[in-house]
Amino acid sequence: NAGVTQTPKFRILKIGQSMTLQCTQDMNHNYMYWYRQDPGMGLKLIYYSVGAGITDKGEVPNGYNVSRSTTEDFPLRLELAAPSQTSVYFCASSYVTGTGGHGELFFGEGSRLTVL
């Protein structure tokens, strides 16, 4: 099993450009997440999905969009990139039971994005 795979690992964007960060998991997890990590700030939740076709905003959703057409894939779209979106982005997945119990989050290796 590959686990959670993110691409690209590094990307430099110019202000106003758009791009998509790809995330795929092969563990048949129902929940998927996008976090951003900034120095000293921990991880902030951008968007999450509880299953195919269902997404919801996290703590810092502005400037981003997501979709979940399959269980495996959860791409993150940046529209009109801004310097404030310079960060390291992590995709994660977990299996949550019907009772809502927390499962372990499995993380990808991250995508470092710089907006100049």
- Site residues, another protein (CB under 8 A): 4, 31, 35, 40-45, 48, 50, 58, 90, 92, 94, 96, 100-105, 107-110
Q: Where does 6-112 have alpha helices with state H?
A: none
- Identify which of 3, 60, 51, 55 has the alpha carbon closest to the alpha carbon of residue 30: 51
Closer to another protein by Cβ: residue 19 or 45 = 45
Closer to another protein by Cβ: residue 17 or 58 = 58
> From the CB of 98, what's the least distance to another protein, in Å?
12
Taking the CA atoms of the chain, what radius of gyration do you get in angstroms?
A: 14
Residue pair 76/89 in contact (Cβ under 8 Å)? The answer is yes
Closer to another protein by Cβ: residue 85 or 93 = 93
